[in-house]
Amino acid sequence: MLFQVTWQLHEGFNHDVIRHFAAMTPEEDEALMGDNLKLVGRWHDMVNGSGVAIFETDDIKAITAYAMGWNQFMDLDISPVVDDETGREIGRNLPAEEEVEG
């Protein structure tokens, strides 16, 4: 499954967290993710202290543990996301309007 993680650094932590992240090697970052979490891509809004990442995992504990390692410095939101093909498949299987009750 794919998950979108967005974050907003807590006020006053921007430079400290950026320095901490910048000092990490890619190998250290991967070690924090563990074996069951794959980073697909990550983008940073350095000025506003926010960003977005896409992770792949079938282990909800893996992404939760990774987020817990950072949540003392930032607010994080985690949402399942799908690619275009999967989104279209879901859309094709939606009930017709006349089938919807309520």
pLDDT tens for the chain, 102 residues long, are 999 999 999 999 899 999 999 999 999 999 999 999 999 999 999 999 999 999 999 999 999 999 999 999 999 999 999 999 999 999 999 998 765 565
Give the contacts of 97 (CB within 8 A, at least 6 positions apart): none
For residue 68, give both structure tokens. 């817990």
Give the contacts of 81 (CB within 8 A, at least 6 positions apart): 2, 3, 4, 54
* Range(s) of the domain holding residue 81: 2-99
CATH number for position 83: 3.30.70.2380
User: Measured between alpha carbons, how far is 5 from 14 in angstroms, rounded to an integer?
Assistant: 18
pTM: 0.86
Number of folded domains that form the chain: 1
Task: Report CA-CA distances (Å) from 96 to 22, 84, 85, 101.
Answer: 50, 20, 20, 11
